[in-house]
Amino acid sequence: MKANNKLEEAVRARLDTDEQLRTANLSISADVTKNEVTLSGTVDSEATRSKAVELAKSAQVGVIVNDKIKVKPRRSNTAPQEQTAYV
């Protein structure tokens, strides 16, 4: 349905305004008959998830956002490294 695509594109345009969300692996599915958008995928923090939901809500007046985004923190590169001591 073309109207669904337009709503999906409007949400994507909002998400693309944020650097982290532009590169996030998020899917957008819209149902204009319900004025509803579903976001799914994975982000690396709760703050990023919240921002995605807020930006999606701003894409169209009164849109309902179903949040199916999973938060999966990135692995840290600060883990202790094994060091070899030479005597």
Is it true that domain 2-71 has CATH number 3.30.40?
no
**Largest Cα–Cα separation, the chain:** 73
Each residue's pLDDT, cut to its tens digit, for the chain (87 residues) gives: 789 999 999 999 999 999 999 999 999 999 999 999 999 999 999 999 999 999 999 999 999 999 999 999 877 655 555 555 666
pTM of the model: 0.81
Contact 14, 39 (CB under 8 A): no
